[in-house]
Amino acid sequence: MKMTFNRNPITYGKTIEQPSQELIKNTPALHNASLGDAIKFGGELTRQAIGTMDLTFSKKHIIVDTKVHMLMPTFSPALSGWHSDGVPRGAELNPTLKKAPNIQAQEDMDASIFHLFVTGQGCLTQFLDQSNVELEVPDTPDSKLYSMINQQVTQGLAEGKYTATDIPSCTAVKWDWWDLHTAQPAKEHEWRFLIRVTETDLHEPKTDLRDIIRTQQQVYLPHNFGW
């Protein structure tokens, strides 16, 4: 079946000056934190980044995730591949579950709202430019959803059918769960900070600081990488 993506344009919020590498390196990383805990425990840079965002306060929950990576060229801070965020999963329609994505359910639900902010110049998230992009998706919930989407978008980019743009550095970006985007391999050696704030009705923030404060980050490497 076909489904339409990029239904609403992304919008940009405020911008701050590029933070120092020392500040980024010493910023705590957070996983599914409440807005209050993020402001309390996330550090100066997290508070600055949240201040750039046009939060709507229109959903039940505001959830904050931050990541800090030391990157070298070809390192990726996330699995690359075109995707959307916040897709409902399983019968519970909870995006945090390790179950098949149920993107079909989104048609009858209020979209979650996402805010993104990334530092640096060497590893900026990329968004697809075109509006109302029709792609084939599985007829029923299936774990192959995003492999299908990635293949179609990648082919469209190669053929010149689509174009994509890096988001501006240190600038808030707002979008919904239909907007397609991807991580990219790093082009520079740098410390990188990313924060995503999710406004949603579908799941709650964590409450145990042992689960909220991240102590480890991972990167993804090409198979032929060598020092």
Task: State pLDDT tens for residues 109-154.
Answer: 999 999 999 999 999 999 999 999 999 999 999 999 999 999 999 9
Does the residue 219 lie in any domain?
no
User: For the segment 33-81, what is each residue's pLDDT rounded down to a tens digit?
Assistant: 999 999 999 999 999 999 999 999 999 999 999 999 999 999 999 988 9
**Average per-residue pLDDT in the chain?**
95
222 inside domain: no
**Confidence at residue 222, expressed as pLDDT on a 0 to 100 scale:** 77
Whether the pLDDT of residue 227 is over 60: the answer is no
- The range of the structural domain enclosing residue 88 comes to 2-214
Mean pLDDT of 192-197: 98
| CATH at residue 192 | 2.60.120
Confidence band, pLDDT 50/70/90 cuts, at residue 202: very high
Within a domain: residue 132? Answer: yes
Q: How many domains does the chain have?
A: 1
Residue 9 lies in a domain: yes
| Residue 225 falls inside a structural domain | no
Residue 103 has which token pair? 């993107």
